[in-house]
Structure 1
Amino acid sequence: MAAQASIAVGSQVWVEDPDEAWIDGEVLKVNGDTITVKCSNEKTVTAKASHVHAKDPEESPCGVDDMTKLAYLHEPGVLQNLKSRYDMNEIYTYTGSILIAVNPFRRLPHLYDIQMMEQYKGADFGELSPHPFAVADVAYRLMLNEGISQSILVSGESGAGKTESTKMIMRYLAYMGGKAATEGRTVEKQVLQSNPVLEAFGNAKTVRNNNSSRFGKFVEIQFDQKGRISGAAVRTYLLERSRVCQISESERNYHCFYMICAGSPEEREKYKLGDPSTFHYLNQSNCYKIDGLDESKEYLETRKAMDIIGISSEEQEAIFRIVAAILHLGNVEFAEGDDVDSSKPKNEKSMFHLRTAAELFMCDEKALEDSLCKRIIVTRDENIVKTLDAEAAKGSRDALAKTVYSRLFDWLVTKINNSIGQDPTSKCLIGVLDIYGFESFKTNSFEQFCINLTNEKLQQHFNQHVFKMEQEEYTKEEIDWSYIEFVDNQDILDLIDKKPGGIIALLDEACMLPRSTHETFAQKLYQTFKNHKRFVKPKLSRSDFTICHYAGDVTYQTELFLDKNKDYVIAEHQALLGASGCSFVSGLFPLLSDDSSKSSKFSSIGSRFKQQLQSLLETLSSTEPHYIRCVKPNSLLKPAIFENQNVLQQLRCGVSFVVVVGISVCFKLPTSVLILFFLRGLWKQLG
């Protein structure tokens, strides 16, 4: 408010601009609530006072390393500061105790070497330039000195650099908590080498990111009383299973598929891979290679990492045999069979791939064909064989591929955790969260729905930590200040995951009703939430729905919601692979105690994911949190380009910006109080 009052003729200001987000200029005229500005691009614009902000005439062209030092803490001030620093290759900036990291889209090895880690070791927070090592060091020293578990939450949209920031944090913690001069598979080495393995099987190229994590990850690193790493656990969330079979334009499948195709000639011959670009699961998106990426080198690095984390050569052989089998499975096409509503492999080419998949799975070829083309219906008196038409057989094929791959990924996570081992005597841990940012695409399906639920949960966690807890403490200490009415998103969470009656509960109900379709599910949503202020039925759609999220409105397409929420293994697939001659494959499909082989029982992915989130939040709530907000400077994924509109949209959606601008602009707090707010948080973190 003080900033607005100081605007007069001749003042230097920022004014909203449709292209640049904000542009600077000089005030020519003030007429009540209307201000006329001569912009630096020579345009003259007239805008409402609420769309004009004062500019600091003495601001440094190099920016400041902590945003709380800005004279005016508003949108254009923050944006210009980040841009000024980015143009000078300063990619890290503090906002009090929060680190903002802008992706440089190039390697900067000098920022992360041993010498740099040594500099930040034990340095006071803020003494050196902003850096992830400084955040990690504060967390490590608080844990060591006060005996309180810590967590570091790395957030940002796809391509913003979350995975790389997470790796830097883990490297620093391994450096601080590692056992010096120890050979072999130490805990810290295994923790670090779990990264390339999980990336190979859980990361893929998307439109927004060449190495996008298609799963969430929370790494708990446990320490003994001396601050040495004594154990660890990797927890993963919601692998995007549909990517195995369906890839959007200009995207790729999981990295491991391309790695095996780039293996040695002997391996390619062994797995009968031939021309990799002919595989349906790889060639449906007009994107096969990534410029500058050597898949054969990545393959060798992944095998080396598998050695370090304790995956035996026999297990590695079985893993990549399964990956190759899935590729062959995807090339089995179906044609109309001899009987009505039946199917069979389309031609000799499909038979070749079916036969090869059976060899690699080490199962019976005819049994594999039957599991794809037939279903056995168990009645009280007899078993009835039901044939599937060609389209249903294709769906059965894709279901098998997704099931096998997700079981393989789960096995890898379990193996990593068993190999590293957890320390039951550990009193403290540092958790590092690398999880999907808020997503809003042209088409948003079940995955985006779950991802955005995650961000709503984390937003509430942030609100509770920063707003509610701070205000309670100010009240307790009788500091004279006005209570802040912040936007609480509990109503969105109730809309999605309330039981009974939330969207997930209604989705589970639809999945269990035999005649439900995505359209009947959508109609149920429209009826239930017709008066809910956060739920909107789009005018021109019969089955889409829109949720007004804290970060913006997202419209979801329900066509695949029911299929993607069902987590059951088709009985015929269970029987087929449970009887595999390969102990590794059969181990992925153990016999179920309740004799589920006789029926396909529904299990909800959405409900299980909700439970996982609740467990994650309980863990986070028991720790002292630290925040790193990653920002993608441009949509081209190229260095030295800073797109103002792109960056501003991310900041508005991010928790760091809630602190930077949400308090000062939305809640009309004076900058002096805001700085006090940050300094108080920083003082608390430093003890």
Structure 2
Amino acid sequence: MAPVLNIVIGSHVWVADKDLAWIDGEVFKIDGQNAHVRTTKGKTVTANVSDIHPKDTEAPPDGVDDMTRLSYLHEPGVLDNLAVRYAKNIIYTYTGNILIAINPFQRLPNLVDVQTMEKYKGANLGDLDPHVFAIADVSYRQMMNEGKSNSILVSGESGAGKTETTKLLMRYLAFLGGRSGTGGRTVEQQVLESNPVLEAFGNAKTVRNNNSSRFGKFVELQFDKSGKISGAAIRTYLLERSRVCQTSSPERNYHCFYFLCSAPSEDIKKYKLGDPSSFHYLNQSSCIRVDGINDAEEYLATRNAMDMVGITEEEQEAIFRVVAAVLHLGNISFAKGTEADSSVIKDAKSRFHLNTAGELLMCDCEKLENALIKREINTPEGVITTTVGPNSATVSRDGFAKQIYSRLFDWLVNRINASIGQDPSSDKLIGVLDIYGFESFKTNSFEQLCINFTNEKLQQHFNQNVFKMEQEEYTREQINWSYIEFVDNQDVLDLIEKKPGGIIALLDEACMFPKSTHETLSQKLYEKFKNHKRFAKPKLSRTAFTIQHYAGDVIYQSDHFLDKNKDYVVAEHQELLNASRCSFVSVLFPPAPEENTKSSKSSSIATRFKVFLGKTVRENLAATWY
């Protein structure tokens, strides 16, 4: 990104290295377009002059706190500056008004205490060392002084520390806008205590992160004229439902399942629970316990947080009864029935879990059994009852469990919002967006496509604000500058979301036809995008596809795309739980609307998510701090 400089003998440079990414050294010979470099590690490397970057030999030993001050703003220079600072436990660095935070994976002393908050209160950006509190403070001051609402976007790869950074932002904004000496629960206390509740039910251990958010979250804080927090709204989206039924080593299911299995003995007995490894939805992974997470203590902390956000004792009992019921559902197995394409409850153990799930959900156990192994089909001649085989019954069971958990999570968000309350008269807002990080795993499915689509959308927003608009302003003001090249990812966004003919549109179309399979979907994608430079078909695969994202290539397995994109409840499941003797459960499953939800556009998770994401970026991220 810096102007091309002459590389001569004696130049201090950076050259690419397969292990370290970049390594520094000194040029001792130039042969045409090739430069011979003796590195500081003692190796001799030959590289093309165009692939070499000059090194700033006058850079301070502690690095610079704002990377716009680097002599050479190129990749090795940026990475070296961050590495130098990180080695000294300096985790924050500016690039203009953007804050880069590197996860220290430890608690650093005096970094986020009240004294530090006091220090940053009212300070101009850049007067003090880079800090997440400085970003929150300047956003707050701008809102108060200019009447300008702001959003703070927290983005980065999975495991980068976004969730913790978001909590620090919220703590500081609550510190600025809190009401001292107020009796009872304050708005800011409830907002802060909503974090452990949502984390318990929406976070899980993944390969990269012991507390990974498996949902997106946008928190809107509302302030009155005096700058005090007067209301708040939390919006969540795209909870990873499949995790409820499918976990693989070394990951875990959602925290709340393990918390409940480590609850006090009276709760264990009440919900007929045991060791978490005895439950199918948990024991698919060998990871049951995680270093640093005390599930028994976290259960009690979650209950305390629920108290703080206004969830009653009765509601808490119902919530954990539903969580326990999901675990018991997962332990129901099926065997072949006497008739073709029929199934029965496999054994006494499965019968125990069926009856326990029915008791916890307070529904008729016989009707629960029928809802899993039978289907009612409406025909012109009337209703016909058919049976399903063991495989279909297992799919039905898992779909049922995912719907119950998803409805429970949505209820929690709505209940928290109702408890906190919103201020409709407020015109001063600060939004904090905590979004999933870019993901590329050994196996990538529908969730990873949605997550990476989100990151593509935010990357474009970042490009638009940081590069395009800044450089247009430089041109208008006739400032002498060197044009910065950046990759425009609009073609990737079109590939995924364009109507008609994008991946989401083709997926929705496939979901509307009963005979569609992941093979037919993949073949349609291969044909449609065979000449698209960002799309590729991996060799020796008939169902996978590769997208060239801004952060790298990702191979997606389409095997479960169709099921995961559909968002409708089986009628028998709906009717069963709506008739529950527990008012809490029946509220989760209100009577279905008359129209056929299976074919309605709202039943597509991908389309609904696309619309929500577009609205969030367009309306809530107009003025953004990074």
> What TM-score, normalized to structure 1?
0.89
Q: Is the 8 A contact 1:215 1:239 kept in 2?
A: yes
Distance 1:80 1:481 in 2: 24
Q: Is the 8 A contact 1:202 1:215 kept in 2?
A: yes
Q: What is residue 434 of structure 1 aligned with on the other side?
A: 434
Alignment coverage as a number of residue pairs: 625
Q: How does 1:352-501 map to 2 (within 5 A)?
A: 352-479=352-479, 486-501=486-501
Partner SS, residue 584 of structure 1: helix
Residue 590 of structure 1 deviates from its aligned partner by: 0.4
Q: Which runs of 5+ in 2 are unaligned?
A: none
Q: How does 1:97-496 map to 2 (within 5 A)?
A: 97-479=97-479, 486-496=486-496
Distance 1:528 1:390 in 2: 36
Q: Deviations over 1:346-378 (max 9, x none)?
A: 100000000000000000110000000000011
Q: Deviations over 1:290-325 (max 9, x none)?
A: 012111111111111111111010000000000000
Q: What is residue 624 of structure 2 aligned with on the other side?
A: 625
Distance 1:84 1:425, change over 3 A: same
Aligned AA (2:73)? L
Q: Is the 8 A contact 1:222 1:430 kept in 2?
A: yes
Q: What is residue 35 of structure 2 aligned with on the other side?
A: 35
Q: Deviations over 1:150-179 (max 9, x none)?
A: 111111111110000000000000000111
Aligned AA (1:59)? A
Residue 483 of structure 1 deviates from its aligned partner by: 6.3
Q: Deviations over 1:500-544 (max 9, x none)?
A: 111111111100111110111111111222222222122221111
Q: Is the 8 A contact 1:355 1:365 kept in 2?
A: yes
Distance 2:479 2:53 in 1: 29
Distance 1:276 1:490 in 2: 45
Partner SS, residue 42 of structure 2: coil
Which deviates more, 185-194 or 461-470? 461-470
Q: Deviations over 1:377-414 (max 9, x none)?
A: 11122211110101110000000000000000000111
Distance 1:180 1:449, change over 3 A: same
Aligned AA (2:389)? D
Q: Is the 8 A contact 2:150 2:621 kept in 1?
A: no
Aligned AA (2:272)? K
Q: How does 1:563-602 map to 2 (within 5 A)?
A: 563-594=563-594
Residue 275 of structure 1 deviates from its aligned partner by: 2.5
Partner SS, residue 495 of structure 1: helix
Distance 1:508 1:465, change over 3 A: same
Q: Is the 8 A contact 1:569 1:600 kept in 2?
A: no
Residue 480 of structure 1 deviates from its aligned partner by: 5.7
Q: Is the 8 A contact 1:139 1:626 kept in 2?
A: yes
Q: Deviations over 1:263-297 (max 9, x none)?
A: 00010000000222100111111110001211111
Distance 1:248 1:10 in 2: 53
Q: Is the 8 A contact 1:14 1:25 kept in 2?
A: yes
Which deviates more, 83-92 or 321-330? 83-92
Distance 2:391 2:275 in 1: 26
Q: How does 1:481-560 map to 2 (within 5 A)?
A: 486-560=486-560
Distance 1:450 1:321, change over 3 A: same
Residue 474 of structure 1 deviates from its aligned partner by: 3.2
Aligned AA (1:307)? D
Residue 11 of structure 1 deviates from its aligned partner by: 2.4
Residue 108 of structure 1 deviates from its aligned partner by: 2.1
Residue 428 of structure 1 deviates from its aligned partner by: 1.6
Q: Which runs of 5+ in 1 are unaligned?
A: 628-687
Q: Is the 8 A contact 2:2 2:73 kept in 1?
A: no
Q: Deviations over 1:528-574 (max 9, x none)?
A: 22222222122221111111222222121111000100000001100
Q: Is the 8 A contact 1:25 1:37 kept in 2?
A: yes
Q: Is the 8 A contact 2:201 2:256 kept in 1?
A: yes
Partner SS, residue 28 of structure 1: strand
Which deviates more, 435-444 or 205-214? 435-444
Which deviates more, 517-526 or 549-558? 549-558
Distance 2:252 2:563 in 1: 22
Residue 462 of structure 1 deviates from its aligned partner by: 1.4
Distance 1:539 1:420 in 2: 53
Distance 1:44 1:394 in 2: 61
Partner SS, residue 418 of structure 1: helix
Q: What is residue 47 of structure 2 aligned with on the other side?
A: 47
Q: Percent identity?
A: 68
Partner SS, residue 110 of structure 2: helix
Partner SS, residue 5 of structure 1: coil
Distance 2:290 2:362 in 1: 33
Aligned AA (2:217)? K
**Higher relative CO (CA 8 A, sep ≥ 6), structure 1 or 2?**
1
Please give the root-mean-square deviation of Cα atoms over the aligned residues, in Å: 1.6
Distance 2:532 2:375 in 1: 42
Distance 1:51 1:97, change over 3 A: same
Which deviates more, 390-399 or 374-383? 374-383
Aligned AA (1:140)? Y
Residue 473 of structure 1 deviates from its aligned partner by: 2.7
Residue 58 of structure 1 deviates from its aligned partner by: 2.5
Which deviates more, 581-590 or 69-78? 69-78
